Amino acid sequence: MNRIAVMTSGGDCPGMNAAIRSVVRTGIANGLEVFGIEQGYKGLMENRIKLLESKDVANMIQRGGTFLKSARSLEFKTDEGQQMAVGNLEANGIEGLVVIGGDGSLTGARILHEKFGIKVVGLPGSIDNDIYGTSISIGVDTALNTICRAVDMINETASSHDRTFLIEVMGRNCGYLALMSAIASGAEAVIIPEVKYNIESIINKIKVRYVEGKSRSVVIVAEGAGSAYDIGKAFQLIGGFDTRITVLGHLQRGGAPSVFDRTLATRLGSAAVKGLIEGRTGVMAGLGNREISFTPLSEVLTKKRDLDETMLKIAEELSL
Ligand code: ADP
């Protein structure tokens, strides 16, 4: 293997740059030429592919976002689009590909592997932590730190006015960010898509806390469980609380990656290149217990991460 390429695709996350840097430098250290594909599958179809040198990834590990840019491409979902992408890989002599992204991007990687025989290793990049085959994805730790900083700040203003704050965090099908940030920020309640919630019982619980002398309440809502605005209205109507809503939105995706994300992305990038050199393909590199492991993309994309019931129990017990 002489030439490999790396791309970031789908939703961006902090740590993607650190992963690209690791792929580029590990590749060069092992005698490979490493190409960067701009804007994911869109750029691959448009042949926006450039040779990257070590200096191109200097000063990159600490930057959020992705300097290769990310994109979504409907055209790549078609056979025509895929043929164009494969044609460009072949025209550039690229023998191995590292795809960094979420479930959608990894599905694209699986197709390149299964349908066209392209050697591909995926890396999990998604702040939602919804990807099977890794205990944690690139970007999750940074997003959690960002959420907690925001909740800490909101907590202070909430205390000053005896207010109830509903804070909406990202997580379409997965309440991981909401659950972990609720635990880490000491929130009174958390509402996640995996668990059916009863608004009256949450309101009653908060009322008891107010009677006991608590000055404020914070409820974390995962976006997939419902709109914080709608839930907030019910809090106001049923509970009679002075309610405020904050939707954290895209600030959760930004910012400099945490030390954990920098090192995770670096380890995964290195493993991806070494995996390709060893002949691995159609797999995703992820973090197991402490070690990096490879899971077939067919498994990654058909199995679902379980909600950590222990963490759910901890969140319930500590918010009483
Ligand atoms: P993420 O990777 O963050 O989950 P998306 O779901 O938007 O983001 O997927 C990113 C890109 O991956 C899509 O724009 C598309 O080009 C490609 N992709 C997603 N799903 C498929 C699919 N079923 N077949 C082929 N390509 C796909």
Is the Cβ atom of 36 under 6 angstroms away from ligand 1? no
With a pLDDT cut of 70, the percent of the chain lying above it is 100
Picking from 232, 254, 276, the residue at the C-terminal end of a domain is 254
Is the Cβ atom of 107 under 6 angstroms away from ligand 1? yes
Q: Ligand 1 centroid to 250 CA: how many Å? A: 19
318 falls within a domain: no
Taking residues 157-179, what's their average pLDDT?
92
pLDDT, residue 194, reads 95
Instruction: Say if residue 134 is in the same domain as residue 275.
Output: yes
The single residue of 12, 79, 128, 141 carrying the catalytic annotation is 128
For ligand 1, atom 20: residue with the closest CA: 104
Annotated catalytic residue 128: yes
Taking residues 132-147, what's their average pLDDT?
98
Identify the residue whose tokens are 């106001």: 236
306 falls within a domain: no
For ligand 1, atom 19: residue with the closest CA: 104
Contact of 144 with 259, CB cutoff 8 Å: no
**Those residues with Cβ within 8 angstroms of residue 305's Cβ, 6 or more apart along the chain or in another chain:** 129, 130, 131, 132, 174, 176
pLDDT, residue 157, reads 86
Taking residues 283-305, what's their average pLDDT?
96
Instruction: Say if residue 156 is in the same domain as residue 241.
Output: yes
Q: How many Cβ atoms are within 10 Å of 200's Cβ, its own excluded?
A: 11
Q: What is the CATH number of the domain that holds 182?
A: 3.40.50.460
Please, what is the end-to-end C-alpha distance for the chain in angstroms? Answer: 57
Distance CA 103, CA 130 (A): 8
Instruction: Say if residue 271 is in the same domain as residue 132.
Output: yes
Dump the DSSP string for 2-58: -EEEEEE-SS--TTHHHHHHHHHHHHHHTT-EEEEETTHHHHHHTT-EEEE-GGGGT
Q: Pocket of ligand 1, candidates 45, 69, 70, 77: which has the most ligand atoms within 8 Å of its Cβ, to mutate?
A: 77
pLDDT, residue 156, reads 87
Number of domains in the chain: 2
Instruction: Say if residue 149 is in the same domain as residue 38.
Output: no
Q: Which domain holds residue 17?
A: 3-139+257-300
DSSP category for residue 138: B
Q: Ligand 1 centroid to 105 CA: how many Å? A: 4
Read off the tokens for 270: 């290195």
How far is Cα of residue 127 from the mean position of the Cα atoms in its chain? 2
How high is the mean pLDDT of the chain?
A: 96
Confidence of residue 210 (pLDDT cuts 50, 70, 90): confident
- The model's pLDDT over 70-110, given as tens digits with 9 standing for 90+, comes to 999 999 999 999 999 999 999 999 999 999 999 999 999 99
For ligand 1, atom 16: residue with the closest CA: 73
Instruction: Say if residue 270 is in the same domain as residue 131.
Output: yes
pLDDT, residue 209, reads 86
Q: Ligand 1 centroid to 296 CA: how many Å? A: 18
Q: Pocket of ligand 1, candidates 7, 8, 9: which has the most ligand atoms within 8 Å of its Cβ, to mutate?
A: 9
28 falls within a domain: yes
- The model's pLDDT over 229-245, given as tens digits with 9 standing for 90+, comes to 999 999 999 999 999 99
Q: Ligand 1 centroid to 131 CA: how many Å? A: 14
Strands (E), the chain: 3-8, 33-37, 49-52, 96-101, 119-124, 164-169, 189-191, 217-222, 243-247, 283-287, 292-296
Is the Cβ atom of 125 under 6 angstroms away from ligand 1? no
Distance CA 267, CA 194 (A): 31
Taking residues 29-37, what's their average pLDDT?
98
Please say if the pLDDT value at position 169 is more than 90. Answer: yes
Picking from 197, 225, 254, the residue at the C-terminal end of a domain is 254
Please say if the pLDDT value at position 248 is more than 70. Answer: yes
Annotated binding site for substrate: 126-128, 163, 170-172, 223, 244, 250-253
247 falls within a domain: yes
215 falls within a domain: yes
* Residues paired with residue 286 on neighbouring β-strands, in sequence order: 293
* Residues paired with residue 8 on neighbouring β-strands, in sequence order: 100
Confidence of residue 320 (pLDDT cuts 50, 70, 90): low
Distance CA 158, CA 161 (A): 6
pLDDT, residue 137, reads 98
pLDDT, residue 158, reads 82
